[in-house]
Amino acid sequence: MYKIAVAGTGYVGLVAGVCFAEKGHQVTCVDIDRNKVNVMKSGISPIYEEGLEELMQKNYAEGRLDYTIDYQSAYKDADAIFIGVGTPEQPDGSANLSYIATVARQIAESVEKDCLVVVKSTVPVGTNDKVEQFINDFLVNDVRVEVASNPEFLAQGSAVHDTLYAERVIIGTESKWAEELLMNIYEPFHLPIVSVNRRSAEMIKYASNDFLALKISYMNDIANLCELVGADIQDVARGMSFDERIGRKFLNAGIGYGGSCFPKDTKALEYIAKQNGYELKTVTAAINVNNEQKTLLYKKASKRLITFNGLKVAVLGLTFKPGTDDLREAASLENVPLLLEQGADIYAFDPVGAENFAKVYPEGKNGKGSITYVSSPEDALKNANVCFIFTEWGEVKAVTPETYKKLMRTSLVFDGRNIYKVDEMGEAGVEYHSVGRKVAI
Ligand code: NAD
Protein backbone atom coordinates (compact mmCIF):
# COMPACT_ATOMS: atom_id res chain seq x y z
CA MET A 1 0.00 0.00 0.00
CA TYR A 2 1.25 3.49 -0.81
CA LYS A 3 1.22 6.91 0.78
CA ILE A 4 -0.71 9.09 -1.62
CA ALA A 5 -1.44 12.81 -1.64
CA VAL A 6 -4.11 14.33 -3.88
CA ALA A 7 -4.07 18.01 -4.85
CA GLY A 8 -7.59 19.39 -5.35
CA THR A 9 -10.80 18.00 -3.89
CA GLY A 10 -13.22 18.63 -6.76
CA TYR A 11 -15.09 15.94 -8.64
CA VAL A 12 -11.87 14.34 -9.84
CA GLY A 13 -9.48 14.77 -6.90
CA LEU A 14 -11.86 13.96 -4.08
CA VAL A 15 -13.36 10.91 -5.77
CA ALA A 16 -9.89 9.60 -6.71
CA GLY A 17 -8.59 10.17 -3.15
CA VAL A 18 -11.57 8.47 -1.55
CA CYS A 19 -11.37 5.50 -3.93
CA PHE A 20 -7.62 5.08 -3.37
CA ALA A 21 -8.32 4.98 0.39
CA GLU A 22 -11.14 2.51 -0.16
CA LYS A 23 -8.64 0.23 -1.92
CA GLY A 24 -6.30 0.38 1.07
CA HIS A 25 -3.88 3.22 0.32
CA GLN A 26 -3.04 5.92 2.89
CA VAL A 27 -4.46 9.12 1.40
CA THR A 28 -4.29 12.82 2.25
CA CYS A 29 -6.45 15.14 0.18
CA VAL A 30 -5.18 18.70 -0.12
CA ASP A 31 -7.21 21.77 -1.00
CA ILE A 32 -6.64 25.51 -0.69
CA ASP A 33 -10.21 26.04 0.46
CA ARG A 34 -10.20 25.87 4.28
CA ASN A 35 -14.00 25.71 4.52
CA LYS A 36 -14.11 22.76 2.16
CA VAL A 37 -11.47 20.94 4.22
CA ASN A 38 -13.41 21.54 7.45
CA VAL A 39 -16.64 20.37 5.86
CA MET A 40 -14.95 17.18 4.60
CA LYS A 41 -13.39 16.50 7.99
CA SER A 42 -16.88 16.59 9.49
CA GLY A 43 -17.91 13.81 7.08
CA ILE A 44 -19.82 15.95 4.60
CA SER A 45 -19.06 15.88 0.89
CA PRO A 46 -18.74 19.35 -0.69
CA ILE A 47 -20.07 17.88 -3.96
CA TYR A 48 -23.06 15.71 -4.69
CA GLU A 49 -22.03 12.26 -5.91
CA GLU A 50 -23.87 9.05 -5.15
CA GLY A 51 -22.07 6.91 -2.56
CA LEU A 52 -19.26 9.40 -1.99
CA GLU A 53 -20.19 10.61 1.48
CA GLU A 54 -20.51 7.07 2.84
CA LEU A 55 -17.03 6.15 1.57
CA MET A 56 -15.61 9.41 2.95
CA GLN A 57 -16.99 8.68 6.41
CA LYS A 58 -15.92 5.04 6.37
CA ASN A 59 -12.33 5.61 5.24
CA TYR A 60 -11.86 8.66 7.47
CA ALA A 61 -13.08 6.65 10.49
CA GLU A 62 -10.75 3.80 9.59
CA GLY A 63 -7.80 6.19 9.41
CA ARG A 64 -6.89 5.78 5.73
CA LEU A 65 -8.20 9.17 4.61
CA ASP A 66 -7.56 12.72 5.77
CA TYR A 67 -7.97 16.26 4.47
CA THR A 68 -5.73 19.27 4.90
CA ILE A 69 -4.75 22.68 3.59
CA ASP A 70 -1.18 22.05 4.80
CA TYR A 71 0.23 20.85 1.47
CA GLN A 72 3.78 20.59 2.80
CA SER A 73 2.90 17.93 5.34
CA ALA A 74 0.92 15.99 2.74
CA TYR A 75 3.51 16.14 -0.06
CA LYS A 76 6.79 15.79 1.81
CA ASP A 77 6.84 11.99 2.19
CA ALA A 78 4.24 10.87 -0.35
CA ASP A 79 5.07 8.03 -2.75
CA ALA A 80 2.78 9.59 -5.33
CA ILE A 81 1.05 12.97 -5.60
CA PHE A 82 -2.01 13.06 -7.84
CA ILE A 83 -2.98 16.46 -9.26
CA GLY A 84 -6.72 17.00 -9.79
CA VAL A 85 -7.02 20.79 -9.83
CA GLY A 86 -9.06 22.64 -12.45
CA THR A 87 -7.85 23.55 -15.93
CA PRO A 88 -10.63 25.97 -16.92
CA GLU A 89 -11.11 27.50 -20.30
CA GLN A 90 -9.56 30.88 -21.05
CA PRO A 91 -11.24 33.46 -23.31
CA ASP A 92 -9.16 32.28 -26.31
CA GLY A 93 -10.25 28.64 -25.74
CA SER A 94 -6.90 27.48 -24.34
CA ALA A 95 -6.64 25.69 -20.97
CA ASN A 96 -5.66 27.77 -17.95
CA LEU A 97 -2.70 25.94 -16.42
CA SER A 98 -2.09 28.35 -13.55
CA TYR A 99 -3.59 26.02 -10.90
CA ILE A 100 -1.38 23.18 -12.14
CA ALA A 101 1.65 25.48 -12.02
CA THR A 102 0.87 26.50 -8.43
CA VAL A 103 0.63 22.88 -7.32
CA ALA A 104 3.87 22.04 -9.18
CA ARG A 105 5.63 24.85 -7.33
CA GLN A 106 4.21 23.66 -3.99
CA ILE A 107 5.37 20.11 -4.71
CA ALA A 108 8.87 21.29 -5.63
CA GLU A 109 9.11 23.17 -2.32
CA SER A 110 7.82 20.28 -0.23
CA VAL A 111 9.03 16.86 -1.37
CA GLU A 112 11.68 15.27 0.81
CA LYS A 113 11.84 11.85 -0.88
CA ASP A 114 11.65 10.46 -4.43
CA CYS A 115 8.09 10.60 -5.69
CA LEU A 116 5.88 10.29 -8.72
CA VAL A 117 3.65 13.23 -9.61
CA VAL A 118 0.58 12.04 -11.48
CA VAL A 119 -1.47 14.54 -13.45
CA LYS A 120 -5.15 13.58 -13.48
CA SER A 121 -6.38 16.97 -14.65
CA THR A 122 -7.07 17.31 -18.36
CA VAL A 123 -4.08 19.13 -19.82
CA PRO A 124 -2.90 19.98 -23.35
CA VAL A 125 -0.50 17.55 -24.98
CA GLY A 126 3.04 18.27 -23.80
CA THR A 127 2.01 19.81 -20.46
CA ASN A 128 3.37 16.92 -18.41
CA ASP A 129 6.83 17.43 -19.94
CA LYS A 130 6.66 21.06 -18.82
CA VAL A 131 5.38 20.18 -15.34
CA GLU A 132 8.27 17.77 -14.85
CA GLN A 133 10.80 20.38 -15.98
CA PHE A 134 9.15 23.05 -13.80
CA ILE A 135 9.18 20.89 -10.65
CA ASN A 136 12.81 19.89 -11.18
CA ASP A 137 13.80 23.53 -11.77
CA PHE A 138 12.34 24.53 -8.41
CA LEU A 139 13.16 21.42 -6.32
CA VAL A 140 14.46 22.36 -2.88
CA ASN A 141 15.73 18.93 -1.82
CA ASP A 142 17.96 16.47 -3.66
CA VAL A 143 15.27 13.97 -4.67
CA ARG A 144 13.97 12.39 -7.85
CA VAL A 145 10.60 13.59 -9.12
CA GLU A 146 9.04 12.21 -12.27
CA VAL A 147 5.70 13.11 -13.81
CA ALA A 148 3.13 10.68 -15.22
CA SER A 149 -0.18 11.23 -16.96
CA ASN A 150 -3.29 9.46 -15.71
CA PRO A 151 -6.27 11.21 -17.29
CA GLU A 152 -9.65 10.81 -15.64
CA PHE A 153 -12.74 9.49 -17.45
CA LEU A 154 -15.37 9.57 -14.70
CA ALA A 155 -18.75 11.07 -15.49
CA GLN A 156 -20.33 13.37 -12.92
CA GLY A 157 -23.38 11.72 -11.40
CA SER A 158 -21.71 8.29 -11.36
CA ALA A 159 -18.18 9.34 -10.37
CA VAL A 160 -17.57 6.79 -7.60
CA HIS A 161 -18.84 3.88 -9.65
CA ASP A 162 -16.88 5.05 -12.70
CA THR A 163 -13.68 5.14 -10.65
CA LEU A 164 -14.07 1.82 -8.86
CA TYR A 165 -15.24 0.02 -12.01
CA ALA A 166 -13.53 2.07 -14.72
CA GLU A 167 -13.63 0.59 -18.23
CA ARG A 168 -9.92 1.33 -18.48
CA VAL A 169 -7.15 3.17 -16.69
CA ILE A 170 -4.82 5.12 -18.96
CA ILE A 171 -1.30 5.61 -17.70
CA GLY A 172 1.25 7.66 -19.58
CA THR A 173 4.81 7.30 -18.37
CA GLU A 174 8.36 7.84 -19.58
CA SER A 175 10.16 5.26 -17.41
CA LYS A 176 9.78 1.69 -16.18
CA TRP A 177 9.90 2.97 -12.59
CA ALA A 178 6.93 5.31 -13.09
CA GLU A 179 4.96 2.69 -15.04
CA GLU A 180 5.45 0.03 -12.37
CA LEU A 181 4.60 2.36 -9.50
CA LEU A 182 1.33 3.43 -11.15
CA MET A 183 0.48 -0.17 -12.04
CA ASN A 184 1.03 -1.13 -8.40
CA ILE A 185 -1.13 1.72 -7.12
CA TYR A 186 -3.98 0.57 -9.40
CA GLU A 187 -3.39 -3.14 -8.77
CA PRO A 188 -6.07 -3.46 -6.03
CA PHE A 189 -8.69 -2.07 -8.45
CA HIS A 190 -8.24 -5.03 -10.86
CA LEU A 191 -9.01 -2.87 -13.92
CA PRO A 192 -7.73 -3.02 -17.50
CA ILE A 193 -4.69 -0.76 -17.78
CA VAL A 194 -3.53 0.85 -21.02
CA SER A 195 0.08 1.93 -20.70
CA VAL A 196 1.34 4.46 -23.26
CA ASN A 197 3.73 7.40 -23.35
CA ARG A 198 2.82 10.67 -21.66
CA ARG A 199 1.80 12.59 -24.78
CA SER A 200 -0.41 9.78 -26.04
CA ALA A 201 -2.13 9.60 -22.63
CA GLU A 202 -2.80 13.34 -22.72
CA MET A 203 -4.20 13.00 -26.26
CA ILE A 204 -6.38 9.98 -25.39
CA LYS A 205 -8.29 12.16 -22.93
CA TYR A 206 -9.05 14.95 -25.42
CA ALA A 207 -9.67 12.57 -28.32
CA SER A 208 -12.17 10.58 -26.20
CA ASN A 209 -14.08 13.57 -24.85
CA ASP A 210 -14.19 15.33 -28.19
CA PHE A 211 -15.39 12.17 -29.93
CA LEU A 212 -18.31 11.98 -27.49
CA ALA A 213 -19.05 15.70 -27.97
CA LEU A 214 -18.99 15.12 -31.70
CA LYS A 215 -21.40 12.21 -31.37
CA ILE A 216 -23.83 14.41 -29.39
CA SER A 217 -23.61 17.29 -31.85
CA TYR A 218 -24.02 14.92 -34.78
CA MET A 219 -27.24 13.53 -33.30
CA ASN A 220 -28.50 17.04 -32.56
CA ASP A 221 -27.75 18.12 -36.11
CA ILE A 222 -29.65 15.10 -37.44
CA ALA A 223 -32.48 15.81 -34.95
CA ASN A 224 -32.91 19.32 -36.31
CA LEU A 225 -33.09 17.90 -39.82
CA CYS A 226 -35.59 15.25 -38.66
CA GLU A 227 -37.96 18.01 -37.60
CA LEU A 228 -37.77 19.57 -41.06
CA VAL A 229 -38.31 16.35 -43.01
CA GLY A 230 -40.85 14.66 -40.71
CA ALA A 231 -38.61 11.92 -39.27
CA ASP A 232 -38.42 11.03 -35.57
CA ILE A 233 -34.94 11.24 -34.02
CA GLN A 234 -35.68 8.63 -31.36
CA ASP A 235 -36.73 6.08 -33.96
CA VAL A 236 -33.71 7.04 -36.05
CA ALA A 237 -31.37 6.60 -33.06
CA ARG A 238 -32.96 3.26 -32.19
CA GLY A 239 -32.44 2.07 -35.74
CA MET A 240 -28.81 3.21 -35.69
CA SER A 241 -28.08 1.70 -32.29
CA PHE A 242 -28.15 -1.92 -33.48
CA ASP A 243 -25.03 -1.28 -35.53
CA GLU A 244 -22.11 -2.24 -33.30
CA ARG A 245 -19.84 0.13 -35.19
CA ILE A 246 -22.07 3.01 -33.97
CA GLY A 247 -22.91 1.70 -30.51
CA ARG A 248 -25.95 2.27 -28.32
CA LYS A 249 -24.76 5.14 -26.16
CA PHE A 250 -24.67 8.91 -26.68
CA LEU A 251 -27.35 8.83 -29.35
CA ASN A 252 -29.90 10.94 -27.45
CA ALA A 253 -30.74 14.24 -29.10
CA GLY A 254 -31.39 17.22 -26.86
CA ILE A 255 -30.27 20.74 -26.07
CA GLY A 256 -26.57 20.08 -26.26
CA TYR A 257 -23.76 19.08 -23.96
CA GLY A 258 -22.73 21.11 -20.91
CA GLY A 259 -20.63 20.52 -17.83
CA SER A 260 -17.06 21.31 -17.07
CA CYS A 261 -15.50 18.95 -19.64
CA PHE A 262 -16.94 18.69 -23.15
CA PRO A 263 -17.29 22.44 -23.77
CA LYS A 264 -13.78 23.26 -22.59
CA ASP A 265 -12.07 20.15 -23.97
CA THR A 266 -13.45 20.69 -27.46
CA LYS A 267 -12.23 24.28 -27.43
CA ALA A 268 -8.87 23.30 -25.97
CA LEU A 269 -8.20 20.69 -28.68
CA GLU A 270 -9.30 23.15 -31.37
CA TYR A 271 -6.79 25.60 -29.87
CA ILE A 272 -3.99 22.99 -29.72
CA ALA A 273 -4.62 22.16 -33.37
CA LYS A 274 -4.52 25.85 -34.36
CA GLN A 275 -1.26 26.31 -32.50
CA ASN A 276 0.18 23.49 -34.56
CA GLY A 277 -1.06 25.00 -37.81
CA TYR A 278 -3.89 22.50 -38.18
CA GLU A 279 -7.61 23.11 -38.51
CA LEU A 280 -9.64 20.48 -36.63
CA LYS A 281 -12.79 20.90 -38.73
CA THR A 282 -14.86 18.13 -37.15
CA VAL A 283 -14.40 19.43 -33.59
CA THR A 284 -15.14 23.01 -34.66
CA ALA A 285 -18.39 21.78 -36.21
CA ALA A 286 -19.32 20.02 -32.94
CA ILE A 287 -18.73 23.27 -31.02
CA ASN A 288 -20.83 25.34 -33.41
CA VAL A 289 -23.76 22.91 -33.38
CA ASN A 290 -23.69 22.81 -29.59
CA ASN A 291 -23.72 26.60 -29.24
CA GLU A 292 -26.82 26.79 -31.44
CA GLN A 293 -28.52 23.88 -29.70
CA LYS A 294 -28.31 25.29 -26.18
CA THR A 295 -30.89 28.00 -26.83
CA LEU A 296 -33.07 25.85 -29.09
CA LEU A 297 -35.98 25.77 -26.62
CA TYR A 298 -35.93 29.52 -26.13
CA LYS A 299 -35.88 30.06 -29.90
CA LYS A 300 -38.77 27.62 -30.41
CA ALA A 301 -40.80 29.20 -27.61
CA SER A 302 -40.10 32.72 -28.92
CA LYS A 303 -41.59 31.73 -32.27
CA ARG A 304 -44.67 30.30 -30.55
CA LEU A 305 -45.37 33.13 -28.06
CA ILE A 306 -45.71 36.88 -28.61
CA THR A 307 -43.89 37.70 -25.37
CA PHE A 308 -42.67 36.18 -22.10
CA ASN A 309 -43.42 39.40 -20.26
CA GLY A 310 -45.60 38.70 -17.22
CA LEU A 311 -45.85 34.99 -18.04
CA LYS A 312 -45.41 32.41 -15.35
CA VAL A 313 -42.67 30.13 -16.62
CA ALA A 314 -42.00 26.74 -15.03
CA VAL A 315 -38.39 25.60 -15.34
CA LEU A 316 -37.76 21.93 -14.55
CA GLY A 317 -34.09 21.11 -14.03
CA LEU A 318 -31.17 23.52 -13.81
CA THR A 319 -28.03 21.36 -13.70
CA PHE A 320 -26.24 20.31 -16.89
CA LYS A 321 -27.36 16.73 -16.32
CA PRO A 322 -29.08 14.69 -13.60
CA GLY A 323 -27.18 13.29 -10.63
CA THR A 324 -24.95 16.31 -10.14
CA ASP A 325 -25.20 19.75 -8.55
CA ASP A 326 -22.87 21.15 -11.21
CA LEU A 327 -24.17 24.05 -13.26
CA ARG A 328 -21.08 24.67 -15.36
CA GLU A 329 -22.11 25.33 -18.98
CA ALA A 330 -25.68 24.17 -18.24
CA ALA A 331 -28.34 25.05 -20.83
CA SER A 332 -30.39 26.68 -18.04
CA LEU A 333 -27.69 29.34 -17.66
CA GLU A 334 -28.16 30.33 -21.32
CA ASN A 335 -31.96 30.27 -21.36
CA VAL A 336 -32.92 31.70 -17.95
CA PRO A 337 -31.25 35.12 -18.54
CA LEU A 338 -33.00 35.38 -21.93
CA LEU A 339 -36.34 34.68 -20.23
CA LEU A 340 -35.65 37.14 -17.40
CA GLU A 341 -34.65 39.83 -19.90
CA GLN A 342 -38.07 39.38 -21.46
CA GLY A 343 -39.81 39.87 -18.10
CA ALA A 344 -40.71 36.24 -17.34
CA ASP A 345 -41.66 35.19 -13.80
CA ILE A 346 -39.77 31.93 -13.42
CA TYR A 347 -40.63 29.15 -10.97
CA ALA A 348 -37.65 26.81 -10.98
CA PHE A 349 -37.32 23.29 -9.65
CA ASP A 350 -34.09 21.33 -9.29
CA PRO A 351 -33.56 18.70 -6.56
CA VAL A 352 -29.92 19.66 -5.89
CA GLY A 353 -28.89 22.50 -8.22
CA ALA A 354 -31.19 25.29 -7.00
CA GLU A 355 -28.85 26.45 -4.24
CA ASN A 356 -25.95 26.94 -6.66
CA PHE A 357 -28.23 28.57 -9.23
CA ALA A 358 -29.50 31.01 -6.60
CA LYS A 359 -25.91 32.22 -6.14
CA VAL A 360 -26.07 33.53 -9.74
CA TYR A 361 -29.78 34.40 -9.86
CA PRO A 362 -30.98 35.13 -6.31
CA GLU A 363 -34.62 34.53 -5.49
CA GLY A 364 -36.85 37.52 -6.21
CA LYS A 365 -36.74 40.28 -8.81
CA ASN A 366 -34.07 39.72 -11.48
CA GLY A 367 -33.94 42.51 -14.05
CA LYS A 368 -37.33 42.76 -15.74
CA GLY A 369 -38.44 39.35 -14.49
CA SER A 370 -38.26 37.32 -11.30
CA ILE A 371 -37.23 33.90 -10.11
CA THR A 372 -38.68 31.73 -7.34
CA TYR A 373 -37.20 28.38 -6.32
CA VAL A 374 -39.73 25.68 -5.49
CA SER A 375 -39.36 22.24 -3.99
CA SER A 376 -41.36 20.13 -6.44
CA PRO A 377 -42.11 20.09 -10.18
CA GLU A 378 -45.79 20.41 -9.30
CA ASP A 379 -45.18 23.68 -7.42
CA ALA A 380 -43.42 25.05 -10.50
CA LEU A 381 -46.22 23.97 -12.83
CA LYS A 382 -49.17 25.41 -10.86
CA ASN A 383 -50.86 28.05 -13.10
CA ALA A 384 -47.81 28.25 -15.39
CA ASN A 385 -48.24 29.57 -18.92
CA VAL A 386 -45.30 27.66 -20.30
CA CYS A 387 -42.85 25.01 -19.08
CA PHE A 388 -39.23 24.35 -20.04
CA ILE A 389 -37.51 21.05 -19.24
CA PHE A 390 -33.75 21.45 -19.13
CA THR A 391 -32.65 18.40 -17.07
CA GLU A 392 -34.11 14.90 -17.02
CA TRP A 393 -34.11 14.39 -13.24
CA GLY A 394 -36.09 11.36 -11.99
CA GLU A 395 -38.46 13.76 -10.20
CA VAL A 396 -39.19 15.47 -13.52
CA LYS A 397 -39.59 12.23 -15.45
CA ALA A 398 -42.12 11.12 -12.80
CA VAL A 399 -44.50 13.97 -13.70
CA THR A 400 -47.29 12.50 -15.80
CA PRO A 401 -48.60 14.15 -18.99
CA GLU A 402 -51.96 14.63 -17.24
CA THR A 403 -50.27 16.64 -14.49
CA TYR A 404 -49.13 19.29 -16.98
CA LYS A 405 -52.66 19.51 -18.32
CA LYS A 406 -54.19 19.70 -14.86
CA LEU A 407 -51.81 22.14 -13.17
CA MET A 408 -50.76 24.58 -15.88
CA ARG A 409 -52.88 27.54 -16.96
CA THR A 410 -51.93 26.75 -20.56
CA SER A 411 -50.29 23.36 -20.98
CA LEU A 412 -47.47 24.36 -23.29
CA VAL A 413 -44.27 22.36 -22.74
CA PHE A 414 -40.83 22.69 -24.33
CA ASP A 415 -38.79 19.60 -23.47
CA GLY A 416 -35.05 19.72 -24.16
CA ARG A 417 -34.50 16.11 -23.09
CA ASN A 418 -37.24 14.22 -24.97
CA ILE A 419 -38.60 12.74 -21.75
CA TYR A 420 -42.13 11.99 -22.98
CA LYS A 421 -43.69 10.11 -25.84
CA VAL A 422 -45.14 12.73 -28.19
CA ASP A 423 -48.43 10.88 -28.61
CA GLU A 424 -48.95 10.51 -24.86
CA MET A 425 -48.53 14.23 -24.34
CA GLY A 426 -50.89 14.89 -27.27
CA GLU A 427 -53.50 12.50 -25.88
CA ALA A 428 -53.32 14.25 -22.50
CA GLY A 429 -54.06 17.54 -24.26
CA VAL A 430 -50.59 19.04 -23.80
CA GLU A 431 -48.98 21.13 -26.53
CA TYR A 432 -45.59 19.50 -26.54
CA HIS A 433 -42.44 20.61 -28.34
CA SER A 434 -39.33 18.44 -28.05
CA VAL A 435 -36.15 17.90 -30.09
CA GLY A 436 -36.11 16.14 -33.46
CA ARG A 437 -39.71 14.95 -33.22
CA LYS A 438 -43.13 16.12 -34.33
CA VAL A 439 -45.07 18.61 -32.22
CA ALA A 440 -48.08 17.41 -30.22
CA ILE A 441 -50.88 19.95 -30.33
P1 NAD B 1 -13.05 21.33 -9.55
O2 NAD B 1 -13.04 22.75 -9.99
O3 NAD B 1 -14.33 20.69 -9.13
O4 NAD B 1 -12.01 21.14 -8.35
C5 NAD B 1 -10.73 21.69 -8.31
C6 NAD B 1 -10.32 21.82 -6.85
O7 NAD B 1 -8.93 22.16 -6.80
C8 NAD B 1 -11.04 22.90 -6.08
O9 NAD B 1 -11.58 22.36 -4.89
C10 NAD B 1 -9.94 23.93 -5.75
O11 NAD B 1 -10.15 24.60 -4.52
C12 NAD B 1 -8.72 23.04 -5.70
N13 NAD B 1 -7.41 23.70 -5.84
C14 NAD B 1 -7.07 24.76 -6.60
N15 NAD B 1 -5.76 25.06 -6.45
C16 NAD B 1 -5.26 24.15 -5.57
C17 NAD B 1 -3.96 23.93 -4.99
N18 NAD B 1 -2.93 24.70 -5.28
N19 NAD B 1 -3.82 22.91 -4.13
C20 NAD B 1 -4.87 22.10 -3.81
N21 NAD B 1 -6.11 22.27 -4.31
C22 NAD B 1 -6.29 23.28 -5.17
O23 NAD B 1 -12.40 20.49 -10.74
P24 NAD B 1 -12.85 19.08 -11.36
O25 NAD B 1 -14.18 19.17 -12.01
O26 NAD B 1 -12.60 18.03 -10.35
O27 NAD B 1 -11.77 18.95 -12.54
C28 NAD B 1 -10.39 18.84 -12.29
C29 NAD B 1 -9.70 18.44 -13.57
O30 NAD B 1 -10.13 17.14 -14.00
C31 NAD B 1 -9.93 19.35 -14.76
O32 NAD B 1 -8.77 19.40 -15.55
C33 NAD B 1 -11.04 18.64 -15.53
O34 NAD B 1 -11.01 18.95 -16.90
C35 NAD B 1 -10.66 17.20 -15.31
N36 NAD B 1 -11.80 16.26 -15.38
C37 NAD B 1 -12.99 16.59 -14.81
C38 NAD B 1 -14.06 15.69 -14.87
C39 NAD B 1 -15.40 16.04 -14.30
O40 NAD B 1 -16.34 15.33 -14.60
N41 NAD B 1 -15.53 17.07 -13.49
C42 NAD B 1 -13.88 14.44 -15.50
C43 NAD B 1 -12.64 14.13 -16.03
C44 NAD B 1 -11.60 15.05 -15.97
CA–CA dist 327, 318 (Å, integer): 7
For the stretch 363-380, pLDDT in tens is: 999 999 999 999 999 999
Task: From 336, 216, 357, select the one nearest 282 (Cα to Cα).
Answer: 216
CA dihedral in degrees (190, 30, 75, 130; nearest 10)? 80
Annotated catalytic residues are 261
Looking at the structure, give the CATH architecture of the domain made up of residues 3-196.
3-Layer(aba) Sandwich (3.40)
**pLDDT, tens digit (0-9, with 9 covering 90-100), for 13-26:** 999 999 999 999 99
Distance of CA 260 to the CA centre of its chain: 5
The answer to whether 18 and 52 have CB atoms below 8 angstroms apart is: yes
CB atoms under 10 Å from CB of 44, counted, come to 12
User: Rounded CA gap, 106 and 73, in Å?
Assistant: 11
> How far is the C-alpha of 76 from the C-alpha of 91, rounded, in Å?
36
CA triple 344-347-350, angle to 5 deg: 135
- Pairing mode, if any, of strands 364-366 and 369-374? antiparallel
Q: How far is the CA of 235 from the centre of ligand 1 (A)?
A: 38
pLDDT tens figures, 82-113: 999 999 989 998 999 999 999 999 999 999 99
User: Ligand 1: distance of its center to the CA of 47 in Å?
Assistant: 12
The residue whose CA is least distant from atom 4 of ligand 1 is 10
What integer pLDDT is reported at residue 93 of this predicted model?
A: 86
Question: Could you state, in order of their start, the residue ranges of all structural domains in the chain?
Answer: 3-196, 204-292, 295-433
pTM for this one? Answer: 0.91
- Compute CA distances 315 → 93, 129, 318, 385, 388, whole Å: 30, 46, 8, 11, 5
pLDDT reading at 441 higher than 90: no
295-433 is classed CATH 3.20.20.10: no
149 close to ligand 1 (CB < 6 Angstrom): no
Q: Is the CB of 84 under 6 A from ligand 1?
A: yes
Closest CA to 252 of 415, 424, 423: 415
Closest atom of ligand 1 to CA, residue 13? 26
Q: Is 266 in the pocket of ligand 1 (CB under 6 A)?
A: no
| Same CATH fold assignment for domains 3-196 and 295-433 | yes
Could you read off the pLDDT of 156-172 as tens digits, one per residue?
A: 889 999 999 999 999 99
Name the residue of 49, 152, 153 to mutate for ligand 1: max ligand atoms within 8 A of Cβ: 152
Which CATH class, in words, describes the domain spanning 204-292? mainly alpha
Check: complex ipTM more than 0.90: yes
